[in-house]
């Protein structure tokens, strides 16, 4: 089964807590530092130390700005807005940050994930402040912090070969916090916007426990939320938050391991991307389908549609993991004539599936077996390609091969 990261967000989450937890799980600090150098961003230094959080030893990862005389570490885990409380004059636009990431020589997965996360922060800020996304700017301090935390987390997941991320519901904290615009309720507006569709809760701990950066990384990359799935744990790491609360371990716990057979992975979140197309050569649709599935799309299908000017057209629908959204949109724009796409996140419930091979008089044939959460067999169907190959090789009808496979499964 897939190598899985389970994030236990009992004290919320921030970018530095996520990176700290990954370092505590065995990510090499020096290799992280050298990967981050590939971005060509100057003016910061990294530190890693062990701290105590209510009796738990945790890794504290920090980004220190070297271009300014005073330290800015305080904003982590109590405030992480891009519209921060800093007086530094230089700002970075979202497009500039995305360009820094895309022109680096980091792996394609890291670049795609980091850009998608930044895009979502930009969308949240644009909605809250009612400004076009092109006008969203990050204060230099917030920009360097966010770039290091977000790209660092993506590098960590890649280096530790994490294939899927599952998160607990997020503890957002309570009360209010101060920032340049005044006093805000917890969670802050950007964090709340980013956590739409994610299960959250609030307890009596004062303060903003989930920062926009933490919310953006988890809500983009986690594919489902809930209690820890059935998994064999190999590594556990704790990433410390900045504040040290009395009798409350302000840390993020990460568990890495292999999911066990029968682990419940539903409901999972998928991104649905749609586009209406009425001026594309029909041959391209088949090509696009192959490219999209090869690039990691979960499904792609076409529906006939009658469009404006009364032209027959096609509604393209593509399902993918939320983290792959930007890559899939780029692919659709590159290969089709559409000028725009729509997307939304939806929950889906899926049956657990496995293949069982049965022996028939026409050779071995695989049966796809789907089971409900409690292990009950809901459906068992012979794999079409196997039946076709067996029928052609033995000179019998396809129906005979399918019937033989079904009979062998029932008798097994």
pLDDT band at 87 (very low <50, low <70, confident <90, very high): very low
| pLDDT tens by residue, 14-40 | 999 999 999 999 999 999 999 999 999
pLDDT at 92 over 50: yes
Q: Say if 268-348 and 352-411 have the same CATH topology.
A: no
pLDDT value, residue 261: 67
Q: What is the mean pLDDT of residues 315-319?
A: 96
Helix (H, G, I), strand (E, B) or coil at 224: strand
How do the domains of the chain map onto residue ranges?
3-259, 268-348, 352-411
**3-class SS shares of the chain: helix, strand, coil, % to 5:** 35, 35, 30
- 41-50, 223-232, 285-294, range with the lowest pLDDT: 223-232
| pTM (predicted TM-score) | 0.69
Domain 352-411 has CATH 3.10.20.30: no
Cis, peptide link before residue 206, omega less than 30° from 0:
no
Q: Which fold has domain 268-348?
A: Alpha-Beta Plaits (3.30.70)
pLDDT band at 224 (very low <50, low <70, confident <90, very high): confident
Start-to-end Cα distance in the chain: 24
Check if the beta carbon of residue 275 is closer than 8 Å to that of residue 341: yes
Neighbour order of strands in the sheet with 363-371: 352-360, 363-371, 377-382
pLDDT at 84 over 60: no
pLDDT band at 204 (very low <50, low <70, confident <90, very high): confident
Q: What is the mean pLDDT of residues 232-255?
A: 94
| pLDDT tens by residue, 141-188 | 678 999 999 999 999 999 999 989 999 999 999 998 887 778 889 999
pLDDT value, residue 303: 97
pLDDT value, residue 263: 60
pLDDT value, residue 322: 82
Give the helix/strand (H/E) hosting 201: strand 200-201
């Amino acid at each position: 089964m897939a190598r899985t990261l389970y994030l236990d967000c009992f004290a919320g989450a921030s970018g530095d807590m996520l990176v700290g937890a990954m370092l505590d799980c065995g990510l090499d600090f020096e290799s992280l530092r050298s990967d981050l150098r590939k971005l060509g961003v100057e003016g910061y230094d990294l530190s890693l130390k062990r701290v105590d959080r209510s009796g738990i030893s945790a890794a504290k990862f920090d980004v220190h700005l070297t271009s300014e005389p005073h330290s800015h570490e305080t904003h982590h885990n109590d405030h992480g807005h891009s519209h921060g409380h800093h007086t530094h004059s230089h700002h970075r636009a979202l497009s500039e940050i995305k360009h820094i990431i895309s022109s680096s020589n980091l792996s394609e997965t890291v670049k795609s994930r980091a850009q998608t996360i930044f895009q979502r922060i930009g969308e949240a800020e644009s909605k809250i402040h009612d400004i076009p996304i092109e006008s969203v700017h990050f204060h230099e301090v917030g920009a360097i912090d966010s770039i290091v935390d977000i790209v660092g987390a993506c590098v960590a997941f890649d280096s530790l070969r994490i294939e899927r991320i599952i998160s607990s519901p997020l503890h957002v904290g309570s009360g209010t916090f101060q920032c340049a615009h005044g006093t805000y309720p917890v969670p802050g507006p950007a964090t709340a916007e980013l956590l739409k569709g994610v299960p959250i809760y609030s307890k009596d701990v004062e303060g903003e426990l989930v920062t926009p950066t933490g919310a953006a990384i988890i809500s983009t990359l986690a594919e489902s939320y809930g209690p820890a799935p059935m998994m064999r744990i190999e590594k556990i790491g704790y990433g410390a938050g900045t504040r040290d609360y009395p009798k409350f371990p302000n840390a993020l716990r990460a568990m890495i391991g292999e999911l066990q057979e029968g682990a419940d992975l539903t409901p999972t979140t998928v991104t649905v991307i749609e586009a209406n197309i009425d001026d594309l050569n029909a041959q391209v649709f088949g090509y696009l389908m192959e490219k999209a599935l090869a690039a990691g799309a979960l499904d792609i299908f076409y529906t006939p549609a009658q469009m404006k000017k009364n032209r027959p057209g096609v509604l393209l629908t593509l399902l993918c993991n939320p983290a792959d959204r930007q890559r899939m949109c780029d692919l659709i724009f590159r290969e089709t004539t559409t000028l725009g796409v729509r997307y939304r996140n939806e929950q889906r419930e899926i049956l657990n599936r496995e293949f069982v091979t049965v022996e028939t008089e026409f050779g071995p044939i695989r049966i796809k077996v789907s089971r409900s959460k409690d292990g009950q067999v809901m459906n068992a169907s012979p794999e079409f390609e196997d039946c076709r190959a067996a029928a052609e090789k033995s000179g019998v009808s396809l129906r005979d091969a399918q019937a033989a496979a079904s009979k062998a499964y029932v008798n097994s």
